[in-house]
Amino acid sequence: MNIVREQREQNNSLIKVTVGEKDYGDAVEKSLREYKRKANIPGFRPGMVPMGVIKKMYGKGVLAEQAYRQASEAAFNYLQEQKIDYVGDVIPSEEQGDFDFENGTEFEFIFEIGEAPEVKLELSAKDKMTYYTIKVDKKMHDDYRSNFLRRFGRLVDTDKVTADEALEVTLDNGDMKIEGAYVGLISMNEEERKPFIGKKVGFKTQVNVNELYKTPAQRAAVLQVKENELEGIKPEFSLEITKIRKFAEPELNEEFFKMAFPAGNVKTAEEFEAFVDAEISKELRRESDYLFTLQLRDFLLKKAGLTMPVEFLKRWLYVINEGKFTKEEIEKDFDAFVKLFTWNYLQKYFIKQDNLTVTPEEATAEAKALAQAQFAQYGLPTAPEDMLANYAKKILEDREQGQKIYEKLYEMKVVEDVKSKIKVTEKAVSAEEFAKLAKEI
């Protein structure tokens, strides 16, 4: 066996591996004997097919397979022994010639690698960055407060529509009459609510139920029919408001605090207002962390100045996707890809250099947080611990979701690691200023 490395374009090499009978012969014979043992060919008893027949039927394919296997293993071993770092994967070269497996005994396989660039990063307090936080304003406070209290409030009767009340109405088109139908203004936009604003009980108007209720399921439920029966119903109805109900916030009393905060961490109105600001700050902190991560990524990419084997990576993407994307499609999105690819490469550098690890306990905690966020979307703000643990386990057992969690946690570890090495100054900005910064990134 002979192995030669040839430099091509920048950060790109060919590994040429020549294999002969001494390299693949034993593996070919072993594979053919296995074919002979399992062969089921009419006219021969199992296991008794002559080797000449087996070689004629399978010899060429087995030779190609084993020769390639020996060559590829040799290429990987060579890269490891020579301590050659590469990105992506080892792929067949475009310079690969044809093979004559019918008559030949010696074959040259040509592989291509993209050489990994060396990372040289010296970080210190001289490297300065700004961590932007978002100021909690009155509107944020009031909106979060209102949404939180809505979970524990109740609907009360009122005499006039002012904003997002819930209406009970009677619908009548001559053929059918539905009393006590529900119209929720909260789910409408400002333009759709306009005809009802200022109206009182007893107000009558004409409506089209196809416009009032957006989905067939909603219309069928209101009209008390099956979805397949909607087609024959005239959609024009007279509508009369029979009841107007609005949301009433609960009183901030002992009963409310026990119900909303069973752990006893909030017991007074003052503590509740502070809780609202703290919860908003937690959510905003995630936005700040995300923006800082993007800024830090761009800072490190620029400072490291790594030169990736661009043309190799384009070919590698085309090969590993097996024709799912054309070369033109890869070219179109390549700049975004190589930026993310280089950032992932830098993360691996810090993980290895500073021995960063993510523990199973940290992954489980993150999976629980993800599960809790999903439960909250469905109106369950505090799911039981056993339920969270069960869902977290399922999330981590899912290969794709589990990998995303570990990638997220490793990225967070890298960001914190780099933050500890440079000078970071916090600066509070308004939501509008923060949005402008985020848009620029």
Residues of the chain with pLDDT under 70: 378-382
Q: Where are the domains of the chain?
A: 2-115, 128-141+259-440, 154-248
Return the CATH architecture of domain 154-248.
Roll (3.10)
For 100, residues 6+ apart whose C-beta sits below 8 A from its C-beta are none
Distance CA 334, CA 338 (A): 6
- Closest by CA to 4, choosing from 75, 92, 89, is 75
The one-letter code for the residue type at 366 is E
- pLDDT value for 379: 62
- pLDDT value for 248: 87
- Identical fold for domains 128-141+259-440 and 154-248, yes or no, is no
- Answer yes or no: are the C-beta atoms of 222 and 183 closer than 8 Å: no
Residue 166: other Cβ atoms inside 10 A: 16
Distance CA 321, CA 325 (A): 7
- pLDDT value for 381: 63
Strand partners, 425: 130
Residue 263, both tokens: 């752990």
- Answer yes or no: are the C-beta atoms of 371 and 388 closer than 8 Å: yes
* Cα 11–chain centre separation: 31
CATH class of 2-115: alpha beta
CATH class of 128-141+259-440: mainly alpha
Each residue's pLDDT tens digit, 372-413: 888 777 666 667 888 888 989 999 999 999 999 999 999 999
- Answer yes or no: are the C-beta atoms of 171 and 239 closer than 8 Å: yes
* Cα 48–chain centre separation: 55
